[in-house]
Amino acid sequence: MKPDLPSLAALRSFALVAETGSLTAAGARLNLTQPAMSRRIRELESVLGVALVHRGANALRLTEEGERYAAALSRAFADIAAATAALRGATPLRIRAYTTWALRWLIPRLPRFRALHPGQEVEVVTSTDPVVDFAREALDAAIRTAPADKPPGRGAVRLQPVMVAPFAAKRGRLEVMSLLGSRVRPRDWALWHDAEGLPPPTSPLLFESTTLAIQAAAEGLGAVICSPAFVAEEVRRRRLVQLSKTEAPTGDHYWLLLPPGTPAPRVAAFRDWLLAEAVPPTPSSDP
């Protein structure tokens, strides 16, 4: 006699496969191998008596029944998450982001969010881990970088392109300055030199984060490559100057990831606010 309901582990596994489109990527979130994930999906299909996925040599896609079941599971897991949050009482929005983006882009703008949504606290956690597992990390949203044509997750929303330019404490010739950068983005100097039509740069001194590299540049230790938005305040205060008008595209974008399913109202409010903030201001037409 078949059980009335499949196991929660099997349902969660299938929901992640549907979200990521990959047995390997879904397995990474659950610390399971690709064969183990495949067995879970086959066991779920056996319990249900329905084929949920088409298996090909190089691809995996959902059947029509699988698509419908995945959508229903997504809504169900979202309802469970919302009910759990309600049971725990009002909690802050928990947002995962990169350290420099959080410190220099998000947090300075959060007072505007709180003005629109009084009483809604926001907790920011930082990580460079490329894997975002909403089930294990209890996150309401996450920010990741990925190429413009390769969203880092199902339903990812593009926020803004990653642009870079050089900055230093005072004007000078780049060829005699130490080049400063981040280990998270080691190729940014090469990308900028290419956009500027310059020969490849010398190997930059890479810090643990762009924030540290920016501080080093402000102290006169060299030129940092970073997003102009990250150093707007330093430029305003004349602690840094932009060494070139060229702001090079890196090919990457910042992306917003949300848990699967329909977002809770407070998460939807944060998403809408973030998307509005990410729109660049319209240049003034004044002379």
In one-letter notation, the amino acid at residue 195 is: A
Orientation angle between helical segments 34-48 and 8-20, nearest 10 degrees: 110
- Neighbour tally for 163: CB within 10 Å: 18
Q: How far apart are CA 215 and CA 78, in angstroms?
A: 41
- pTM for this model (two decimals): 0.67
Q: What is the secondary structure of 62-89 as a DSSP string?
A: E-HHHHHHHHHHHHHHHHHHHHHHHHH-
pLDDT single digits (tens) 54-96:
887 666 789 999 999 999 998 888 777 767 666 554 578 999 9
Q: Where are the alpha helices (DSSP H) in 126-279?
A: 134-137, 188-196, 210-218, 232-236, 265-278
Report yes or no: 114 and 239 within 8 Å, Cβ to Cβ: no
In the predicted model, what is the mean pLDDT of residues 222-242? 96
| Residue carrying structure tokens 């990250």 | 230
Fold classification of 8-87 is Arc Repressor Mutant, subunit A (1.10.10)
Dihedral Cα 42, 45, 50, 55, nearest 10 deg? -30
Where is mean pLDDT largest: 45-59, 89-103, 163-177?
Answer: 163-177
**DSSP, res 231:** G
In the predicted model, what is the mean pLDDT of residues 32-45? 91
Which one of 1.10.1060.10, 3.40.50.300, 3.40.50.2300, 3.40.190.10 gives the CATH number of domain 89-140+256-278?
3.40.190.10
Per CATH, 89-140+256-278 and 161-251 having the same topology is answered yes
- Beta bridge mates, 203: none
Q: How far apart are CA 260 and CA 40, in angstroms?
A: 20
- Neighbour tally for 106: CB within 10 Å: 18
The domain spans of the chain are 8-87, 89-140+256-278, 161-251
Per-residue pLDDT at 138: 86
Report yes or no: 9 and 47 within 8 Å, Cβ to Cβ: no
pLDDT single digits (tens) 106-120:
999 999 998 888 888
| Residue carrying structure tokens 């100057």 | 241
SS3 of residue 95 by DSSP: strand
In the predicted model, what is the mean pLDDT of residues 19-37? 87
What's the pLDDT band for 286 if we cut at 50, 70, 90? Answer: very low
pLDDT single digits (tens) 239-269:
999 999 999 999 999 999 999 888 888 899 9
Q: How far apart are CA 114 and CA 196, in angstroms?
A: 40
Q: With residue 45 as reference, give the H or E element that holds it.
A: helix 34-48
SS3 of residue 228 by DSSP: helix
pLDDT single digits (tens) 175-212:
999 999 999 999 999 999 999 999 999 999 999 999 99
In the predicted model, what is the mean pLDDT of residues 164-172? 96
- Beta bridge mates, 124: 95
Q: Which distant-in-sequence residues (6+ apart) come within 8 Å of 99 by Cβ?
A: 126, 128, 209, 211
Report yes or no: 54 and 90 within 8 Å, Cβ to Cβ: no
pLDDT single digits (tens) 119-153:
888 999 999 888 888 878 889 999 999 998 999 88
In this structure, whether the domain defined by 161-251 belongs to CATH 3.30.930.10 is answered with no
CA distances from 235 to 114, 209, 218, 231, 250 (A): 26, 19, 10, 6, 22
Report yes or no: 193 and 204 within 8 Å, Cβ to Cβ: no
What's the pLDDT band for 284 if we cut at 50, 70, 90? Answer: very low
CA distances from 91 to 62, 82, 83, 135, 185 (A): 35, 11, 12, 16, 33
